[in-house]
């Protein structure tokens, strides 16, 4: 995600450097057709498998099923569930390790394909294990969920490396690729949440978690079908030198003010967005103090809310992707704090006092929250993509994502500590409104660090020119691009379908 040319001109209808049009009569189909034509259909398939199936459907079904699993099967307190989720998310905080592997260690001559295959295998096997063993203890359950999380993280790093690599060889398509990722994730989440409640109700939380092996199998299939140039003369004896060189390059890049300043902002902004979702989930499903939503309705709330996420992607793609980073992130942070007030209205039951039923207000609340969350997240992803130097784009993008994930992990632990300190338990929610209010106020604190974010627009180059030159892998990536741009029957078929 490191465009150098002015993509705004391309999206306005000008000719792109590859001879196509950036915008046609049908913007959505033209956008997908352009990505398929320029980057090959197997890249689009990989994005859909990882972001749509694994992260979209998988995270949606897994999120609802895991909530019920901790609540009804393991019967832990909401603060404990919040802490356990932090451990499960740990593989996402060490993404540079996976990035280093996919960047410098080809397997059987391929840099990306084997890691998709590995991610699919470990993801499917861990979820089948959790589903088939009915009396797992807490620690084995955490281990199984963590292994599945590691598989998803490996797949995410690998597809992100492809996105970052293509952002260098096809710079005007960077925002379009992020929009494809966000669109796939939103549609997948919509589908996943739509069926999550029914699955948990009919199969139980463990049965629903077992179905997460299917998205992992799709990731495996994407690895089989991915079109990638095979390296035939790779010297494995030089791997340690490549690791050292990649780490050294990462260190050099991080010392650049254009890089470390936005990194500080990203970490702090996510760290201070306290995650108290476990407390909210327990309250949602409590039939005495809370609204007592059923499994089916929980899934329905999240599925309708996914329309808000999808709307956020479309709004960003059509109207916000050409605005300066600082402006978009400012309003995203402000709207995030304001959207959180909807939770406060619902927890204090003000909605019922003004005649709005819980089920209606829950749908509105979740839709607005997901839309604002997507508007806040997408410019951060584009910003990260523009900080990746050629040659270690997968590794460095993974490092930037791990910084974000470390912030999210800490926000979960801070949120769990807050729930514990306020004595929010499985049945006690009298102080939940205080936790919501503190969370909402904390979301506004990062605005003090917004000066660390560059003022440039999202189509500008952020790295110094010397960091974008003289890279061995740039030539290899150009060769990959030439290979992927060669005519193929499969590509033409997919382009015709799209």
pLDDT for the residue 350 = 92
Whole-angstrom distance, CA of residue 476 vs CA of residue 472: 7
Based on its alpha-carbon atoms, the radius of gyration of the chain, rounded to whole angstroms, reads: 22
Q: Count how many domains the chain has.
A: 1
pLDDT for the residue 400 = 84
Residue 407 lies in a domain: yes
Residue 1 lies in a domain: no
pLDDT for the residue 467 = 63
Residue 349 lies in a domain: yes
Is residue 450 within 8 A of residue 330, CB to CB? The reply is yes
pLDDT for the residue 432 = 94
Secondary structure of residue 324 in the 3-state scheme: strand
The sign of the CA dihedral 189, 194, 199, 204 is: positive
Q: Output DSSP code: residue 1.
A: -
Residue 137 lies in a domain: yes
Compute CA distances 491 → 17, 42, 45, 49, whole Å: 19, 8, 11, 17
Ranges of the chain whose pLDDT falls below 70: 1-32, 36-37, 103, 167-175, 234-237, 239, 391-394, 459, 461, 464-498
pTM beyond cutoff 0.75:
no
- Name the one residue in this structure whose structure tokens are 């049945």: 427
Degrees to nearest 5, angle at CA 381 with 377 and 387: 145
Residue 272 lies in a domain: yes
Residue 303 lies in a domain: yes
CATH code where residue 452 lies: 1.20.1250.20
Is residue 248 within 8 A of residue 392, CB to CB? The reply is no
Residue 298 lies in a domain: yes
Residue 27 lies in a domain: no
Q: Whole domain around residue 127: which residue ranges?
A: 35-462+489-497
Cβ–Cβ contacts within 10 Å for residue 210, how many? 20
- Name the one residue in this structure whose structure tokens are 């999202």: 458
Whole-angstrom distance, CA of residue 125 vs CA of residue 238: 33
Which long-range CB contacts under 8 A does 246-253 form with residues at least 24 apart?
246/100, 246/103, 246/104, 246/391, 246/392, 246/395, 247/100, 249/389, 249/391, 249/392, 249/396, 250/96, 250/392, 250/395, 250/396, 250/399, 253/387, 253/389, 253/396, 253/463, 253/467
């Amino acid at each position: 995600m490191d465009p150098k040319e002015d993509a705004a001109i391309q999206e306005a209808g000008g000719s792109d450097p590859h001879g196509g049009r950036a915008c046609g009569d049908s913007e959505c189909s033209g956008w997908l057709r352009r990505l398929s034509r320029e980057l090959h259909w197997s890249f689009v398939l990989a994005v859909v498998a990882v972001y749509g199936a694994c992260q979209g459907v998988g995270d949606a079904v897994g999120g609802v099923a895991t909530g019920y699993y901790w609540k009804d099967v393991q019967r832990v307190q909401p603060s404990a569930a919040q802490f356990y989720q932090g451990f499960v998310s740990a593989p996402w905080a060490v993404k540079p390790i996976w990035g280093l592997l996919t960047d410098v260690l080809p397997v059987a001559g391929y840099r990306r394909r084997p890691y998709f295959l590995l991610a699919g295998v470990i993801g499917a096997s861990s979820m089948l294990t959790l589903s088939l063993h009915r009396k797992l203890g807490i620690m084995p359950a955490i281990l199984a969920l963590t292994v599945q999380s590691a598989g998803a993280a490996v797949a995410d790093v690998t597809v992100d490396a492809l996105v970052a690599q293509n952002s260098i060889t096809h710079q005007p398509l960077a925002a379009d690729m992020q929009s494809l990722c966000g669109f796939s994730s939103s549609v997948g989440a919509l589908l996943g949440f739509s069926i999550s409640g029914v699955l948990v109700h009919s199969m139980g939380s463990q049965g629903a978690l077992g179905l997460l092996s299917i998205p992992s199998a799709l990731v495996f299939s994407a690895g089989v079908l991915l079109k990638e140039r095979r390296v035939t003369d790779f010297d494995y004896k030089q791997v340690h030198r490549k690791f050292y060189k990649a780490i050294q390059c990462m260190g050099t890049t991080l010392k650049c003010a254009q890089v470390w300043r936005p990194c500080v902002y990203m970490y702090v902004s996510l760290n201070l967005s306290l995650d108290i979702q476990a407390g909210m989930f327990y309250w949602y499903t409590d039939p005495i103090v809370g609204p007592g939503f059923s499994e089916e309705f929980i899934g329905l709330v999240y599925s309708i809310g996914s329309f808000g996420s999808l709307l956020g992607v479309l709004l960003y793609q059509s109207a916000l992707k050409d605005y300066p980073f600082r402006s978009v992130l400012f309003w995203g942070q402000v709207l995030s704090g304001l959207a959180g007030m909807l939770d406060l209205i619902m927890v204090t039951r003000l909605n019922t006092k003004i005649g709005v039923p819980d089920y209606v207000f829950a749908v509105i609340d979740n839709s607005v929250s997901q839309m604002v969350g997507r508007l806040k997240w997408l410019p951060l992803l584009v910003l990260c993509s523009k900080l990746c130097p050629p040659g270690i784009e997968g590794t460095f993008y993974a490092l930037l994502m791990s910084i974000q994930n470390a912030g999210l992990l800490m926000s979960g632990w801070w949120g769990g500590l807050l729930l514990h300190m306020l004595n929010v338990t499985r049945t006690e929610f009298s102080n939940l409104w205080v936790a919501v209010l503190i969370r909402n106020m904390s979301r506004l604190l990062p605005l003090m660090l917004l000066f660390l974010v560059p003022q440039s627009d999202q189509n500008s180059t952020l790295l110094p020119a010397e960091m974008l030159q003289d890279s061995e892998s740039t030539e290899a990536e150009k060769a990959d691009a030439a290979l992927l741009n060669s005519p193929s029957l499969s590509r033409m078929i997919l382009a015709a379908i799209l």
